[in-house]
Structure 1
Amino acid sequence: MKSTMSKEEFIEYTKSVWSFGAESATRIGHPAPFPVELPKRCIKLYTFEDEVVLDPFIGSGTTAITSLMLNRHFVGYDVDPEYVKLADKRINTILSKRKQQFLQESEV
């Protein structure tokens, strides 16, 4: 398998400290959301495309959404059914947008 990460990304992602902005808890609907950049870096560093990412604390679904964006599969669960519903809603929104984009591109 070949990595899809550039040399520059690898150098940036393997630094000791990462710094990026926070997500809005109000906008996401979860008390502790984290930015997409956090799981993105971990997923790109430790998986290849078409591999599976496990998220045992799915929360708002950020890791699952990032997995989809990076062409990975995911398995996620949470002890709080309300967060599973929130994640499901956010994931389905992304999948719906991808489907619409695919349909528009195939009409051309």
Structure 2
Amino acid sequence: MIMSVQRTEFTDINFDAEISEGLSVVCFEEPLDHDCRKQAEIIEKAANEIEAQIKVGKCDVENCFALAQRFRVISIPTTIVFKDGKEVERLAGFRHEFTLVKHLKEDIG
């Protein structure tokens, strides 16, 4: 299987269409927060280690307030994994690459 990470900037407008098929990893963040910036980098790096097609992106909670409310994001960073439009896993707080790789492999399952 060829690995392919597609980077996406999730917004209120494109969100549902973007997560509707396949595996999508969304980092709900505040771009000026150091942990959020670092987490987004680690998520992309972890996704690149897995031999699967994964859509990876960020969702700025200040610009996508409705999405943050819809998914009850109460702390940042919060990483939510969607498979074919359904939430399959939620990771609140900063996670290391090893942990993310482990979780993503399980989610692909």
TM-score (norm 1): 0.28
- Say which structure, 1 or 2, has more relative contact order (CA 8 Å, 6+ apart): 2
When normalised by structure 2's length, the TM-score is 0.28
The structure with more strand, counted as a fraction of residues? 2
